Amino acid sequence: MKNMSGSPAVRTEALNVWLGGTHAVCDVTVAFVEGATSGLVGPNGAGKSTLLNCISGLVPAGSGEVYLYGDKATGIRPHQLARLRIGRSYQGAQLVGELSAVDNVMVGDHVGLRTGLVAAALSLPKARRAERAARERAAHALDRVGLARYAHRPVKELPYGIQKRVDLARALVSDPRCILLDEPMAGLSRAEKEEVVEVLAGLRVAGGPTLVVVEHDMRVINQLCSYVVVLAAGAVLAAGPPETVLNSPEVVAAYIGRGDSHSEEQVGSE
């Protein structure tokens, strides 16, 4: 098991985030080990998205620290995140409906954006080559998530389950070494989830990216993750291997107590 043995890709220390009057992240100290797939779970409103948003510099930390690959990265800017090769997906897939799948994926390609698309507007031959290369990377990312045949379809014509995978391709396109995925399977059917699980499992080759996945379906967490962090009311309730953590009475109580409509699988059941 590679859970807590390696060095962390992402680590927080006594992190606190306030959103308006809400203490959304309370004293959170967590570590996500490099190369592993970790789960981030907890009832709605537990602070999962806010934790990922603070790690990626989208909301400021009230106090505490974020470390990325060992370096202090509290309050990092989005372009710095790209330079560290850390990718993100968001809870609601933010795709542009009128654009094709491949164009949407190109938007996630920081290399392509910097050296390709902008300069391509000037129609320089070098820029055109760069744009072609960015387009090829986007096509390759779509292929990795099994969507090669949808590359040129406008995203608004594609079913929701396919759109979620376009969003996943967008997180993959710049070849990140770590990807923070906020509910990549939300709203998917069981069959569609299986496809995403397969894609994510396929990334776990040697040297593959570190994955941090927010997900409500405990069957998926058990299948994919070697480590899981449970948040409740902004604080870490439990952390460790899924087989121990998800069966602990506190964790079971946190879910049942909230009657969380999102948790399709009751914690601890099989």
Ligand X SMILES: Nc1ncnc2c1ncn2[C@@H]1O[C@H](COP(=O)(O)OP(=O)(O)O)[C@@H](O)[C@H]1O
Binding site for ligand X (CB under 6 A): 19-20, 22, 24, 42, 44-50
Given 3, 49, 56, 263, the residue binding Mg ion (CB under 5 A): 49
C-alpha span between 103 and 120 (Å, rounded): 14
Using CB positions, name the residue nearest to Mg ion. Answer: 49
Please state the closest distance from residue 41 (CB atom) to ligand X, in A: 9
C-alpha span between 42 and 245 (Å, rounded): 12
Please state the closest distance from residue 91 (CB atom) to Mg ion, in A: 5
| Contact of residue 163 among ligand X, Mg ion, none (CB under 5-8 Å per partner type) | none
Report CA torsion sign: 257, 237, 84, 143: negative
171 beta partners: none
Closer CB to ligand X, residue 45 or residue 154? 45
| Contact of residue 44 among Mg ion, ligand X, none (CB under 5-8 Å per partner type) | ligand X
Q: Is 263 in the site for Mg ion (CB under 5 A)?
A: no
Rg (CA), the chain: 19
Closer CB to ligand X, residue 50 or residue 56? 50
Retrieve residue 242's tokens: 């899924």
| Contact of residue 249 among ligand X, Mg ion, none (CB under 5-8 Å per partner type) | none
Tell me if residue 227 falls in helix, strand or coil.
Answer: strand
Q: Specify whether the CB–CB gap between 81 and 176 falls below 8 A.
A: no
Number of residues this chain uses to bind Mg ion (CB under 5 A): 3
* Cα atoms found within 13 Å of the Cα of residue 86, Cβ hemisphere only: 21
Closer CB to Mg ion, residue 52 or residue 145? 52
Site mask for Mg ion (CB under 5 A), range 91-110, x = bound:
x-------------------
31 beta partners: 11
Closer CB to ligand X, residue 24 or residue 188? 24
Closer CB to ligand X, residue 22 or residue 266? 22
Closer CB to Mg ion, residue 80 or residue 91? 91
- Burial 43-76, CB ≥16 within 10 A → b, else e: bebbbbbbbbbbbbbbbebeebebbbbeeebbeb
Residues lying near Mg ion in the complex (CB under 5 A): 48-49, 91
